[in-house]
Amino acid sequence: MNTRKLSLTLAVLSISTTVLAATAASAQSILVDMKGPGAGNPFWAAVERGALEKGKELGIDTVVLAPPTESDVAAQITQIEDQLARGIKGLALAPTDPNALAPVVEEAIADGVPVVFIDTQGSNEGVTYIGTDNVAGAALAAKFICEQLPSGSEVAILTGIVTQSTGKARADGARSGLSGCGLKIVAEQSGEWDRAKGLSVMENVITGNPGIKAVFASNDNMALGAVEALKSANMLDKVMVVGFDANPDAADSILAGEMSASVAQNPENMGALGIESLMKLAKGEKLPPVIDTGTVLVTKDNAADYK
């Protein structure tokens, strides 16, 4: 019976060995640790693709890992600790929780491993953040509105939650862009990122300002809520709606001629610029505190790519 037990044990081990042997140990590599796996999430799949392609182009071994879910903070910490023990020459991290990941990022820095944050800014001081510049993205949307409307037209802004950095940045970018080109902002109110709240806020805005010509919503959910409000007031043909995120619902709405535009982030660039920036750090170059991965205006012309 001992042989039987032993053979069973060995069977288990040989299975795990086969799994591992398939991924032979490699030389020092750059680790990209994302919030969630690329499988099933187009955003992270794009980050992964961008990182792997850039790694290939520069001839750097690139490893992409992620915890099984975006809430599994402990798994992400563990992955980084293990990879640090193995020895990595760079870490591009999208922290599942900026604060909880701070100690292990400190550990990496103490080891002399270059670190950058991608997608989500961490809480460690002096670490470059590579991600969407939300001010610039909102300004892009504002520019689009400016181009369509005569100076002096009345416009409104639906903000997200402005105590959050993303909400504030998008509101700031839109405000300065719209007023900068001579449009008149008659209302700036929060829809708290929520579709239903965006709808009610928009109802109030058009009641008080029946002459408005455009609304910028800080995310697509609120923009779609605004579309509903305008539809019931029979005003959709007179007011243009521009959102942010370019999610599939918004792309459909743009193609249907309801929303006018949205702003897309560029996750592929987050992966690629992450790798590139780490190589710069390794060579001793300095990085700016924030690197914009760029935003793309999505209109009828290119909305089909975002469905």
Partner 1 sequence: MTVSTDRSRTGNRTEAEAPGLGIRLLPILDRYGILLVILVMGLVLYALQPDVFFSWRNITNIFKQTAVNSMLAIGMFLVILTAGIDLSVGSVLALGMMSLAVANAAGWAWPIVLLLGPAVGLATGFVNGVGITKLRMPHPFIMTLGMLFMARGLANLISGGVPYTGLPDAVRFLGSAQIELGELDGTRLNLPVGLIVTIVVYLIFWVFLEHSVLGRRIYAIGGNPQAARVSGINVDRVLIFVYSLCGLMAGFAGLMMAGRTNSGFPNAGIGAELEAIAAVIIGGASFFGGRGTVLGVFGGVIIMGLISNTLNLNNVSVFWQQILIGLIIVVAVFLDVVRRGIGTRR
162: which DSSP letter?
A: T
- CA-wise closest residue to 154 among 175, 184, 181: 184
Q: Which is nearer to partner 1, 151 or 163 (CB)?
A: 163
Cβ partners under 8 Å of residue 128, min gap 6: 116, 117, 277, 287, 288, 289, 290, 291
CA distance 12 to 7: 9
CA distance 155 to 162: 19
Q: Which residues in this chain contact partner 1 in the complex, by CB under 8 A?
A: 1-2, 4-5, 8-13, 15-17, 19-21, 23, 25-26, 29, 37, 39, 63, 65-68, 71-75, 77-79, 81-87, 96-103, 123
- Smallest distance, Å, CB 281 to partner 1? 22
- Within its chain, how far is the Cα of 189 from the centroid? 23
Q: Which is nearer to partner 1, 8 or 256 (CB)?
A: 8
Q: Return the structure tokens found at 138.
A: 């909102």
Q: Which is nearer to partner 1, 3 or 151 (CB)?
A: 3
Q: Which is nearer to partner 1, 46 or 187 (CB)?
A: 46
- Smallest distance, Å, CB 283 to partner 1? 24
- CA-wise closest residue to 202 among 162, 170, 158: 158
CA distance 93 to 142: 31
- Smallest distance, Å, CB 124 to partner 1? 11
Q: Which is nearer to partner 1, 111 or 305 (CB)?
A: 111
- Smallest distance, Å, CB 46 to partner 1? 18
- Smallest distance, Å, CB 278 to partner 1? 17
- Smallest distance, Å, CB 195 to partner 1? 20
Q: Which is nearer to partner 1, 59 or 150 (CB)?
A: 59
Instruction: Supply the DSSP string of 94-154, one letter for each residue.
Output: --SSHHHHHHHHHHHHHTT--EEEESS--S-TT--EEE--HHHHHHHHHHHHHHHS-TT-E
- Smallest distance, Å, CB 86 to partner 1? 5
- CA-wise closest residue to 261 among 245, 273, 277, 238: 245
CA distance 260 to 262: 7
Q: Which is nearer to partner 1, 3 or 234 (CB)?
A: 3
Q: Which is nearer to partner 1, 97 or 154 (CB)?
A: 97
- Smallest distance, Å, CB 10 to partner 1? 8
